[in-house]
Amino acid sequence: LQKLIVGNSIYLNTSDSLASVSHERARETAQNGQRPYAVVVSCSDSRVPSEYIFAAGIGDLFIVRTAGNVIGEFELGSIEFGVQYLKAPLIVVMGHSNCGAVEAALANQGDGYLSAVVREIQSGLNGVTDEGEAIHKNVLHSKQRILESPIVRQLLEAGQLMIVCAEYDLFTKHVDFFS
């Protein structure tokens, strides 16, 4: 808790950074609303901070995070909100190396509600056992789940939306995009 409190105070006192987290931007977006330039669907993993990774600031990214970037009804609803009402023109589905959720799915581990996450990941693996390949397949599976949304499909067909896949490398901090 102390770390969060100190972190927030640093954040509050930052007036200048690579991305705009300025008070001015905060006030401007609070007043005029958000117009994020992308919806980023990624893993809850603390080593995958989308705003830092993409040098984005306040109002830039509409982010949906779940363990293993799995997609269910709440996530689809959030994505639809981002693309339909906020008019974000891009969806990025981003997995990452060393993903614990994918590792749990491969090892068939996970109790409590985590078992639902594991089952969802497993349903997209089609028997793949290699971790790197599983991470890749899991991103593509999440993309397919997002395409189940008629609203998303409509916007894609109208040329008002693009969807891309990505993988973030924890070691190099590099994002590799693919479709």
Task: Provide the binding-site residues for Zn ion, judged by CB under 5 A.
Answer: 43, 45, 99, 101
Give 45 or 75: the residue with its C-beta nearer to Zn ion: 45
Give 83 or 141: the residue with its C-beta nearer to Zn ion: 141
d(CA 28, CA 111): 44
Taking phi over 0 as left and psi of -120 to 50 as alpha, with beta for the rest, 128 belongs to beta
Give 6 or 49: the residue with its C-beta nearer to Zn ion: 49
Say what the alpha-carbon torsion angle 69, 75, 78, 83 is, to the nearest 10 degrees: 60
Least spacing, CB of residue 134 vs Zn ion, in Å: 11
d(CA 142, CA 46): 20
Give 93 or 155: the residue with its C-beta nearer to Zn ion: 93
d(CA 68, CA 12): 30
Give 24 or 176: the residue with its C-beta nearer to Zn ion: 176
What letter does residue 86 receive in the DSSP assignment? Answer: S
Least spacing, CB of residue 96 vs Zn ion, in Å: 6
H or E element in which residue 27 lies: helix 23-32
Least spacing, CB of residue 98 vs Zn ion, in Å: 8
Least spacing, CB of residue 67 vs Zn ion, in Å: 6
d(CA 129, CA 122): 10
Least spacing, CB of residue 57 vs Zn ion, in Å: 24
